[in-house]
Amino acid sequence: MKKIAIFASGNGSNFQAIHDAVQAGTLRAEIKLLVCDKPGAFVTERAKKAGVPVLEFSPKLYTSKAEFETMIHEELQKKDVDYIVLAGYMRLIGSVLLDYYPERIINIHPSLLPAFPGMDAIGQAVDAGVKVTGVTIHFVNEGMDTGPIIAQKAIEILDEDTKEEVERKVHEIEHAFYPETLDRLFEEKRSMEGAAE
């Protein structure tokens, strides 16, 4: 079973969806750690309630991204983590973690990439007047939402939809689609590893 660390910065609804899928047995993985760069964020409460260890840190207390990513990596090693799963982590991943976890850092983004990367993707889509947006799950590289795409799911934006309504639709898809996609990805990796032995 793949061991994952979830990185999040805020409310943690995707953390909750992943945890619930693990509990239900639909995502065959083990959550070893929550990493949060915003001490006191609500996601940390969710993790504690779920019995998941929490690593909270404040980036401004470190001299560089490399310094705090080295600290994170040491904690991930202790937990024998296989994959990093970003779930609303509002910080670009740097070279330290990218080097240690090539093609093993996964992110979910609320648009059909390459359209609307970066912050407030839903707002960008609504402001642009597009009729279709969606959710992208992708591997992370050094760019902003530029890594190889793993899976996508589209949703229609109706003329009467407010930004809040589009957000609701996107989150509804994310909470089912992310655990499903992670499980499928981990199964494929397990099969490949089994074949290589």
- Terminal CA-to-CA distance of the chain, rounded, Å? 16
Is 78 annotated as a binding-site member? no
How many other β-carbons are positioned within 10 Å of the β-carbon of residue 128?
11
Q: Is 109 one of the catalytic residues?
A: yes
Question: What CATH number has the domain bearing residue 56?
Answer: 3.40.50.170
91 annotated ligand binder: yes
Report whether 119 belongs to an annotated binding site: no
Rounded Cα distance between 81 and 89, Å, is 17
Q: Which of 109, 138, 171, 175 is catalytic?
A: 109
Is 43 exposed, middle or buried, given 0-12, 13-18 or 19+ CB atoms closer than 10 A? Answer: buried
Task: Evaluate whether 135 touches 179 at the Cβ level (below 8 Å).
Answer: no
150 is in an annotated binding site: no
Q: How does pLDDT run across 136-194, given as a tens digit for each residue?
A: 999 999 988 999 999 999 999 999 999 999 999 999 999 999 999 999 999 988 777 77
Q: pLDDT band at 197, cuts 50/70/90?
A: low
What lies within 8 Å, CB to CB, of 22 at 6+ separation is 29, 30, 31, 179
As for how many domains the chain has, the answer is: 1
- Average per-residue pLDDT for the chain: 95
Domain with 27, as residue range(s), is: 2-196
Above 90 in pLDDT, residue 93? yes
Region 115-138: what's the mean pLDDT?
Answer: 96
Full-model pTM: 0.94
46 labelled as ligand-binding? no
Stretch 26-48: mean pLDDT, rounded?
97
- The annotation status of 9 as a binding-site residue, yes or no, is no
Distance of CA 119 to the CA centre of its chain: 14
Q: Is 101 exposed, middle or buried (0-12, 13-18, 19+ CB in 10 A)?
A: buried
Q: Known binder of ligand: residue 49?
A: no
* Maximum Cα interatomic distance, the chain, rounded to a whole number of Å: 55
Tell me the pLDDT band of 43, cut-offs 50, 70 and 90.
very high
